[in-house]
Structure 1
Amino acid sequence: MATNALTVARDDFLNAARSHVVLGVVGAFVVSVALVFLAEMDLFADPYRTLNDVALLFILVGPVLLAPLSYLAVAGDRASGRLKYVMGLPASRPGYVAAKVASRAGVAVAAVLASLAVGFAVALAAFENAPDPAAFALFAVASALYVATFVCIFVAISASVTGRSRAMFGAVAVYFVLVPFWLGVTPPLTLGTLLSAVGDLLGTGLSASTREFVDALSPLRAYGGLIRPVFAQGAEKYERFAHMGGAPDAVYERAWFHVAVLLAWSLGSVTVGYLRFRRAELA
């Protein structure tokens, strides 16, 4: 089964690498990050300040760029009839889903790493203060985990539905819930208003710690927690990072908790997607 999964992953990765969509995704990541660093090289002396804006780019735009790469990973094969051919190699269903996740996540991680390598080069050449390799490395690892999580979610959606339109709708809905809704940028419908409504229904207000715990359960909040040490060094220099100074106190502010959240979203969504795919007709 492992050999079959590796074969499917290799073929899918090679086919994806030749796709204009993949080239567009990688190019969009690289160009976007390079433009952010070029635009801010005269605004800030420290490259890590610009990394904060790159993080915002990854949070808001990253999933949008990754959706075309992922949401048709399985649904596209099913709609085109290629899925029946792949299953006849032979290849097991769990191996097939795992291969799709691995190949598409590999492309996403490569896009992030390539974009940050370009950003590091620009920072090294153009910023007043030299970039910190350790800070860039931590940021790169956390960003890779973040984009891989969304790839897992989108591939899981692709494995769960039977048509291209349903896969696209599912990806859009998940993006709305996990990013704008969770960030609170879509008033009046936000996580905060939902928690307030739940508190009203229960007849008691939810405590601040409960709200913060629920807020910490999203991939974007976990990502933000993982990269917090990159910006903590600027707590006294930049007002934007003033709240990041000091060691985390609550459990949901610890690095291991953030990693656990990302892994839970990744493995949980893939598991659900596979369970639905396992019972699906291949035609």
Structure 2
Amino acid sequence: MSAPTVARTDFRSIRRSYAVVGVVGTFAAIVVLAFLGSSEVHPHPVRTTFGLSALIAWVFPLLLAPLTYLAVAGDRARGSITYYLGLPNTRADYFGGKYATRAAVGAATMVLGVAAAFAVALATYDHAPDPGRFLALGALSTLFTLAMVGIFVAVSASVATRSRAMIGVLLAYFVLSPFWIGPLPALNLGTLLDAAASLPGVAVPESTRALVGALSPAGAYFNTLPELVWADAPGRYESLAQFSDTPDYLGYEPWFNVLVMGVWAAVAPVVGYLRFRSAELG
């Protein structure tokens, strides 16, 4: 057995589960309804991608949570992990297979959702969607998905019980998405930075705010969209125009934000594996 074999075995066990059906079906339905509902309001599909990006950053990770939080912790709680590791598998094979399954389902769900959005936009909007914009949106959204899946599976591999896995995944989601870049005025990263800066009586430079804001997957995801998806968008929409004069800070550079999401997608699973490699499974 190897990591691909573990992945195939794991996929066969989850492909008919309510978690997979729920994630794929719910996300596709929400995307389709969002684009159908906006087709009579906005003639250009690019305007609706603004709402779709918020859905991806704030709602989609919650749909990923049931798919990922039991990836490893569920097997440990059931005791079935002894079956996987009783065969000629290493812990690296097991973890790699588990991560690959969840990453593949998450990425496929995102690609399906963006493809459904494009199809609805093509059929219902006054102006045809720009394939290049939707390809860029799909690629960036998939990278964001891989980052969040990596974080959630790493949490699952770091704990031994279902309850701790669920709490850990929800906490990671809250900190890295709503708290980091969300709309809660009294409970967000900006408020924390202001409170920390008020102690020595200094102000936090806007460039520093931009850099810190870009260090979460959600913050980096939002920062890539103005130049790579919404640049020179047709029509005059205030929600998109607000990003047209972004300051020339490192935290707003598309390449830097793509790099941040890539680092999360690559490093989080490695950290999770290192925790799992040294865990007591008895």
Q: If the length of structure 1 is used for normalisation, what is the TM-score?
A: 0.94
Compare 215-224 and 236-245 and name the one that shifted more: 236-245
Q: For residue 128 of structure 1, what is the aligned residue in structure 2?
A: 126
Q: For residue 259 of structure 1, what is the aligned residue in structure 2?
A: 258
Structure 1 runs not aligned, ≥5 long: none
Distance 2:161 2:170 in 1: 14
Q: How many angstroms does 1:268 deviate by?
A: 2.5
Q: How many angstroms does 1:183 deviate by?
A: 2.0
One of 68, 76, 79 as aligned partner of 1:78: 76
Q: How many angstroms does 1:246 deviate by?
A: 5.9
Secondary structure at the residue paired with 2:242?
Answer: helix
- The amino acid of 1:232's aligned partner reads A
Secondary structure at the residue paired with 1:106?
Answer: helix
Q: How many angstroms does 1:236 deviate by?
A: 6.6
Q: If the length of structure 2 is used for normalisation, what is the TM-score?
A: 0.94
1:50-61 alignment runs, 5 A limit: 50-61=48-59
Distance 1:235 1:120 in 2: 16
Q: How many angstroms does 1:6 deviate by?
A: 0.9
Once the two structures are superposed, residues 10-34 of structure 1 have per-residue CA deviations (whole angstroms, 9 ceiling, x without a partner) of: 2212322121210110001110000
Q: For residue 224 of structure 2, what is the aligned residue in structure 1?
A: 226
Residue 111 of structure 1 pairs with residue 109 of structure 2: yes
Q: How many angstroms does 1:235 deviate by?
A: 7.7
2:73·2:157 contact (CA, 8 Å) conserved in 1? Answer: yes
Q: For residue 176 of structure 2, what is the aligned residue in structure 1?
A: 178
Equivalent pairs, count? 281
Secondary structure at the residue paired with 2:168?
Answer: helix
1:1-283 alignment runs, 5 A limit: 4-228=2-226, 229-234=228-233, 237-245=236-244, 249-283=248-282
Once the two structures are superposed, residues 166-189 of structure 1 have per-residue CA deviations (whole angstroms, 9 ceiling, x without a partner) of: 000001111111111112433422
1:248·1:254 contact (CA, 8 Å) conserved in 2? Answer: no
Q: Could you say if the C-alpha distance between residues 235 and 247 of structure 1 is closer, same or farther in structure 2, counting changes exceeding 3 Å?
A: farther
2:6·2:97 contact (CA, 8 Å) conserved in 1? Answer: yes
Compare 183-192 and 215-224 and name the one that shifted more: 183-192
Secondary structure at the residue paired with 1:227?
Answer: helix
Secondary structure at the residue paired with 1:232?
Answer: coil
Q: How many angstroms does 1:95 deviate by?
A: 2.1
Once the two structures are superposed, residues 138-158 of structure 1 have per-residue CA deviations (whole angstroms, 9 ceiling, x without a partner) of: 000111111111111110000
- The amino acid of 2:252's aligned partner reads E
Secondary structure at the residue paired with 1:244?
Answer: coil
Once the two structures are superposed, residues 89-121 of structure 1 have per-residue CA deviations (whole angstroms, 9 ceiling, x without a partner) of: 221112221221111011011111111211111
1:235·1:243 contact (CA, 8 Å) conserved in 2? Answer: no
Residue identity over aligned pairs, in percent, reads 47
Q: Could you say if the C-alpha distance between residues 247 and 56 of structure 1 is closer, same or farther in structure 2, counting changes exceeding 3 Å?
A: closer
- The amino acid of 1:267's aligned partner reads A
RMSD: 1.7
- The amino acid of 1:237's aligned partner reads R
Q: How many angstroms does 1:191 deviate by?
A: 0.5
Distance 2:257 2:116 in 1: 27
